[in-house]
Amino acid sequence: MLEKITMSRLRYAPLLVFQVILLILFFCFTTYADAEEVKQRISGFEDTHVMIFIGFAYLMTFLKKYCYSATGYNLLLAALIIQWSLLCQGFFDMKDGKISISLRQLLEADIMSATVLITFGALLGLASGTQLLFIAIVEAAVGCVNLYISEEIYKISDIGGSIGIHTYGAYFGLGVSAALRLKKSDPEPAPSNGVATIQSQKENIRLDGPSYTSDVTAMLGTIFLWIYWPSFNSGLAATEVERQRAIVNTYLSLASCTVVTFMLSAAVSHKPGKLDMVHIQNSTLAGGVAVGAVANMYIGPGGAIAVGMGAALISVLGYRYLTPQLEKLGVQDTCGVNNLHGMPGIYSGLLSALFAALATSEAYHNELGNVFPATSSIAAGHLASSTADPRSTGMQAAYQLIALATTLGLALGSGILSGLIAKTKLFSPLEEKQRYDDEMNWELP
């Protein structure tokens, strides 16, 4: 008994070890960026910070007895991954053996932490704290490799991270969930509102569902994310003109997505004519994901509205019809990240290929090289560039698709492998009766 208590008290000891390792690595390999490196104006850092630590956290408080874990683990995972991703991303851009850290690197680290929090949404209530920490560390490292491949090798345009952040995070999470799925001998959960229906063995109530109060707090997360999403999609823009175009496109996409979400929710909900809070909390945000990869492109204000409308259709129908089918296969997706981040991310990746193929120097003027790094100018359909790696717009479109396929492969493959490792007793996996319950990890009032 004493040994069990001691082990419980030392449950998070490996976390301290990892933090000490980070401390040593920061002392050895990091420095402040010099004056030349900080000349570029960076906007949206504070707004993105709010999205990570308030928006994502409160969006996941819809479970009736998991609000402590939703907000607490969100804070822990983000704080850890911001440090870890600064090192992982900086490894690819070291100068004289040092990683320079500026506001841009902090913003990129915040954005990378969003990947882990998206995965957390898929595993909400399903994974133990130690499992989450292991999964997050692996995911961030592989995610940084994927971003390097997409940005430096494929040279794609993905300013809002719809491919490298949202798609990757969603399908990494679903890969882990598939590896952690319930055994056939366990009771099979029945679908309900896009989440599983595990029964509490101590109370005759579902712990995976919402309460009236928890749905209200989750809606606060939605509002914060909705308000600040234009900053997320525009923060890494190269010019002020590009930044404003990304803000306009994101804002219009979110607005049209919200309107169509309300209409579709009433049309397809389990109770005809009534709104489903799952759709309102999540699908209203899908427009921000769907426009992410094309936010800085010349898609036109009307095009941005069309993108948002399509995102609402994909997301709402995904929650209503696709998620129950995944559950029948034993793949749990607690927050429905496939419908908010995964499928809208794929949709955005496909749109990015389309709009890359349609790009012309007449439309972009001198901005073509900012939006598509490997292509500086296209005249009369022919390449006219002096860059080291010149491309036609058609070739750029192909690379957008290749990056999307690479991201999906890396996410699912590394997610399944991470889940299989995390499933071992070393990481204290939860028993079925322990899922969706704060009592396992928190002192409750």
CA–CA separation, 168 and 406 (whole Å): 10
Cβ neighbours of residue 262 closer than 8 Å, sequence gap 6 or more: 275, 280
> What is the model's pLDDT at position 36?
74
CA–CA separation, 63 and 109 (whole Å): 28
Query: Residue 377 pLDDT more than 50?
Result: no
Query: Residue 202 pLDDT more than 70?
Result: no
Q: Are 16 and 207 in contact (CB under 8 A)?
A: no
Segments forming the whole domain that contains residue 192? 42-85+100-372+390-440
Tokens of 157: 């345009």
Alpha helices in 149-167 (DSSP H): none
165 falls within a domain = yes
Mean pLDDT of 394-404: 97
29 falls within a domain = no
**In the chain, what percentage of residues exceed pLDDT 90?**
75
pTM, two decimal places: 0.91
90 falls within a domain = no
64 falls within a domain = yes
CATH of the domain at 307: 1.10.3430.10
pLDDT: which is higher, 187 or 144: 144
Q: Are strands 382-383 and 378-379 parallel, antiparallel or unpaired?
A: antiparallel
265 falls within a domain = yes
26 falls within a domain = no
Q: Count structural domains, the chain.
A: 1
Distances (CA, A) of 391 to 148, 159, 368, 394: 19, 19, 12, 8
428 falls within a domain = yes
User: Which of 251, 278, 273 lies closest to 263, judged by CA?
Assistant: 273
> What is the model's pLDDT at position 375?
85
> What is the model's pLDDT at position 380?
34
Query: Residue 409 pLDDT more than 80?
Result: yes
Q: How many CB atoms lie within 10 A of CB 374?
A: 19
Distances (CA, A) of 80 to 22, 58, 110: 9, 19, 11
> What is the model's pLDDT at position 9?
77
279 falls within a domain = yes
Task: Report pLDDT digits (tens) over 126-178.
Answer: 999 999 999 999 999 999 999 999 999 999 999 999 999 999 999 999 999 99
